[in-house]
């Protein structure tokens, strides 16, 4: 069995970010395809499961727990469950990330 979700059927936000939640397809993961302009990014939040980011292009500053990091394109960042985190696009161009949520739907609590 397989599913194809055509681009025009995908949930896309005004900032061009796409959300996929796997639960309705029987898949235990969800993801955001982030496409942020300079200065954009979520505020500090937590998830009850692990989250993994793949930096595809651009410059990001992540806050993870008490640390601040600036991974480069191609880097993979993993944060454990219930760890406060956020990121912002600190570059002059767009920031593209793949954010993988280890859950069938996104559960996010802002701090």
Structural domains in the chain?
Answer: 32-110 (2.60.120.10)
pTM: 0.89
Give the pLDDT means over successive 10-residue stretches in the chain (111 positions): 88 88 94 95 96 97 97 97 98 97 97 94
Give the Å distances, CA to CA, from 60 to 3, 22, 44, 81, 108. 32, 26, 14, 21, 20
Per-residue pLDDT, 9: 86
């Amino acid at each position: 069995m397989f599913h194809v979700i055509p681009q025009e059927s995908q949930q896309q936000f005004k900032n061009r970010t796409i959300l996929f939640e796997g639960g309705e397809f029987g898949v235990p993961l969800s993801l955001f395809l982030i496409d942020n302009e300079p200065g954009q990014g979520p505020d500090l939040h937590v998830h009850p499961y692990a989250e993994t980011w793949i930096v595809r292009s651009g410059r990001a500053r992540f806050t993870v727990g008490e640390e601040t990091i600036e991974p480069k394109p191609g880097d993979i960042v993993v944060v454990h469950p219930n760890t406060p985190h956020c990121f912002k696009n600190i570059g002059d161009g767009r920031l593209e990330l793949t954010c993988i949520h280890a859950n069938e739907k996104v559960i996010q609590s802002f701090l």
